[in-house]
C-alpha cells in the first residue's frame, strides 16, 4: 500500500475555520512503538484500529481498541493513547474541529460519553472516503459534510447504546428469525458492531453469550409449541434449528429441569 496518499496535513483557509468543519491532519499509520501523551491540543480525534491494539486513557477512562473498533475524543483536555507493547499496530486517524460540530462534542463530553468506543464499518468506510476527498482540488465543503455525517453517526450510536434499546432491538431480531438459523455475524450486524465488541457488550448486559441467549429464547418458544400443538418433538426441534432431538432435549432439560416429553406430559396431565 502507498502510505503517502493516506497522509494529509493542511492549513485550513480562514473561511473554512470560521464556518465549516475542518481537518488539519489525517493519516493511515503503521507503528509498533507509538505514544501520544498531551495536556491538551486544539482538536478532536477519530481513530480506528485496523490491526493490533490501541490503549486510550482520558477522563478517568481506560479503553482498548481492537481491530475495526474506533474511538472519538476531544483533545483539549489531558489525554494519552498508545500501541500495546510488543504488538504491531495499524490505524487510521483524523483531527477535526469547527463550529458546526462544537455543540455535538460538548454534548458528548457533558454527558461523560467521551472518549467513546464504537464499532461501525460505515464509519470506517466514511473515514477512508475522507482521504479520497482530500485529493480533490476543492474539498472544503465535501470534507466538512463527510465529517459532520461521521460524527453524527457516532453520536447516534452513543445515545442508542443503552441496555433497554440494545435488548429491544435484539429481541425483535430473534423473534423475526426464531425459525431460522441465527448466525453470530448477522446478529452483531443488527447493531452495526464488530463480533468481538458485540459479544463483549452483550455479555456485560445479560451475563450470557449471544448464542446461549438465542438458545434460551428458542427453548421458551418450544415450551409454547409443546403445549399448544400436537407436533412431534423431533419436528419442533428441527423447526427451531436444533441439530436433532438429542440436542434439543439436552438444551431443554438444562434450562427447565425436564425433558420436552416430561414437560408436555406434566402440562397435559395437569389440564386433563
pLDDT digits (tens, 9 = 90+) for 19-28: 999 999 999 9
pTM more than 0.75: no
pLDDT of residue 222: 95
What per-residue confidence (pLDDT) applies to 192? Answer: 66
What contacts 127, CB < 8 A, 6 or more positions away?
Answer: 26, 46, 48, 92, 94, 150
User: Which residue ranges of the chain lie beneath pLDDT 50?
Assistant: 1-3
Query: Residue 143 has what pLDDT?
Result: 95
User: Options 3.40.50.300, 3.40.30.10, 2.60.40.10, 1.10.10.60; which CATH number does 162-272 get?
Assistant: 1.10.10.60
In angstroms, the CA 177 to CA 183 distance is 10
What confidence score (pLDDT) does residue 182 get?
87
Cell of 271: 389440564
Is it true that domain 3-160 has CATH number 2.60.120.280? yes
Q: Work out the burial of residue 269: count CB atoms within 10 Å of its CB; fewer than 13 is exposed, 13-18 middle, 19 or more buried.
A: exposed
Please check whether residue 53 is in contact with residue 47, taking contact to mean a CB–CB distance below 8 angstroms: no
Q: What is the pLDDT of residue 3?
A: 46
Q: What per-residue confidence (pLDDT) applies to 2?
A: 47
pLDDT value of position 1: 43
DSSP per-residue letters across 88-127: -EEEEEEEEB-HHHHHHHHHHHHTT--SEEE--HHHHHHH
Task: Read off the pLDDT of residues 78-98 as tens digits, 9 standing for 90 and up.
Answer: 999 999 877 789 999 999 999
Q: Which residues of the chain does CATH 1.10.10.60 include?
A: 162-272
Predicted local distance difference test score (pLDDT) of residue 159: 79
- CATH 2.60.120.280 domain position(s) in the chain: 3-160
Amino acid at each position: 500500500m502507498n502510505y503517502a496518499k493516506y497522509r494529509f496535513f493542511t492549513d485550513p483557509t480562514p473561511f473554512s475555520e470560521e464556518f465549516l468543519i475542518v481537518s488539519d491532519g489525517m493519516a493511515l499509520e503503521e507503528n509498533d512503538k507509538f505514544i501520544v501523551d498531551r495536556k491538551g491540543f486544539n482538536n478532536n480525534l477519530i481513530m480506528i484500529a485496523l490491526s493490533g491494539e490501541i490503549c486510550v486513557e482520558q477522563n478517568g477512562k481506560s479503553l482498548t481498541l481492537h481491530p475495526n473498533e474506533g474511538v472519538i475524543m476531544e483533545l483539549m483536555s489531558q489525554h494519552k493513547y498508545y500501541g500495546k507493547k510488543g504488538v504491531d499496530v495499524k490505524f487510521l486517524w483524523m483531527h477535526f474541529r469547527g463550529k458546526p460540530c462544537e455543540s455535538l462534542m460538548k454534548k458528548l463530553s457533558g454527558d461523560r460519553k467521551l472518549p467513546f468506543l464504537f464499532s461501525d464499518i460505515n464509519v470506517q468506510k466514511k473515514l477512508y472516503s475522507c482521504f479520497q476527498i482530500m485529493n480533490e482540488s476543492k474539498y472544503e465543503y465535501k470534507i466538512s459534510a463527510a465529517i459532520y455525517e461521521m460524527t453524527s453517526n457516532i453520536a447516534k450510536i452513543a445515545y442508542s447504546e443503552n441496555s433497554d434499546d440494545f435488548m429491544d432491538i435484539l429481541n425483535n431480531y430473534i423473534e423475526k428469525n426464531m425459525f431460522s438459523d441465527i448466525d453470530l455475524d448477522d446478529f452483531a450486524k443488527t447493531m452495526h458492531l464488530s463480533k468481538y465488541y458485540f459479544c463483549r457488550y452483550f455479555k456485560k448486559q445479560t451475563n450470557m453469550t449471544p448464542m446461549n441467549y438465542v438458545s434460551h429464547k428458542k427453548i421458551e418458544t418450544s415450551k409454547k409449541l409443546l403445549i399448544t400443538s400436537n407436533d412431534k418433538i423431533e419436528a419442533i426441534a428441527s423447526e427451531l434449528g436444533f441439530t436433532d432431538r438429542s440436542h434439543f432435549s439436552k438444551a431443554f432439560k438444562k434450562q427447565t429441569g425436564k425433558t420436552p416429553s416430561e414437560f408436555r406430559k406434566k402440562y397435559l396431565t395437569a389440564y386433563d
